[in-house]
């Protein structure tokens, strides 16, 4: 079988179930694919340019090709029906069928099938490209989302109504997210939980997160700020000597975030003990 190099990738005809496998047919198919304006954009002289790096453009072209394939398959059925009708009509009229009478119909069928095979290969190549584009987009979205999760610490900041649209089996799906500190949330066993693989608190009920994580963090942060304010007041009362000014309170880091309490249930763990490792250990995959 023939292997064809195109700008959209390598095509191995042996991977496709073709309508015909004769050398002449394969040669014609190879020629059509090599001159395809879809698979070889540099040879595209049409005004309708296909951007192979744009998901929407590729998806739209796939839909156009699928519609064209359906149309061609109807044409093939019509041509086969016309062949049968012609033969029956000639016989019923008592007219002898000339030798090679079916050549016109068979040639038209072959041309239609050649076009169908070409369109199916173009469609398949674009669908594979579409999958790669979607996977890349998903990785970028996940990376960007991961960079935002708990970016400012567990402060119990709520964000509702974020909408994410994506395609699943060719159908556009809309999913709404509610977030706490940029962590996605969702219901698990009827309980609103943090539902985010990028979070060290993944699986914790939002209620537990507020009580055991956010509040202790905010309390510690506030205590440091209050102690700093008191130190500044004492410094001012003692003459505001420049080299004795109290240093700003140390910024809370991931190491200072509250750990997952042993008594708090992990709703996403299946018959497992709740996580008790440090926040830094559980977020290595995100920070490296």
pTM, rounded to two decimals = 0.57
pLDDT of the chain, 288 residues: tens digit per residue: 578 888 777 888 888 888 788 888 888 888 888 888 888 877 665 545 677 778 888 888 889 999 999 999 999 999 888 888 888 887 887 777 777 777 888 888 889 999 999 999 999 888 888 888 888 888 888 888 888 899 888 998 888 766 666 666 667 766 666 888 989 898 888 888 999 999 999 999 999 999 999 999 999 888 888 888 888 888 888 877 777 787 777 777 888 889 999 999 999 887 444 454 444 444 433 433
Q: Which residues contact 226 (CB under 8 A, 6 or more apart)?
A: none
């Amino acid at each position: 079988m023939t292997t064809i190099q195109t700008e959209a990738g390598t095509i191995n005809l042996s991977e496709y179930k073709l309508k015909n496998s004769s050398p002449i047919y394969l040669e014609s198919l190879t020629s059509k694919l090599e001159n395809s304006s879809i698979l070889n954009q540099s040879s595209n002289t049409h005004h309708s340019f296909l951007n192979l790096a744009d998901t929407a453009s590729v998806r739209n072209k796939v839909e156009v090709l699928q519609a064209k394939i359906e149309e061609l398959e109807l044409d093939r059925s019509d041509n086969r029906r016309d062949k049968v009708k012609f033969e029956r009509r000639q016989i019923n009229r008592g007219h002898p069928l000339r030798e090679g009478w079916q050549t016109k119909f068979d040639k038209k069928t072959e041309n239609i099938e050649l076009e169908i095979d070409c369109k199916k290969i173009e469609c398949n190549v674009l669908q594979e490209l579409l999958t790669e584009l979607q996977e890349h987009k998903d990785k970028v979205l996940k990376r960007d989302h991961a960079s935002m999760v708990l970016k400012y610490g567990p402060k119990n900041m709520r964000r509702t109504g974020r909408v994410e649209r994506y395609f699943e089996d060719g159908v556009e799906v809309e999913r709404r997210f509610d977030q706490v500190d940029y962590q996605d949330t969702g219901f698990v066993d009827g309980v609103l939980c943090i539902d985010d693989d990028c979070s060290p608190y993944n699986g914790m009920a939002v209620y537990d997160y507020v009580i055991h994580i956010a509040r202790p963090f905010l309390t510690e942060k506030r205590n440091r700020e209050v102690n700093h304010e008191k130190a500044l007041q004492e410094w001012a009362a003692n003459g505001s000597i420049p080299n004795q000014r109290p240093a700003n309170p140390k910024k809370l880091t991931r190491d200072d975030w509250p750990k997952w309490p042993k008594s708090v249930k992990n709703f996403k763990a299946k018959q497992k003990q709740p996580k008790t490792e440090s926040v830094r250990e559980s977020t290595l995959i995100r920070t490296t």
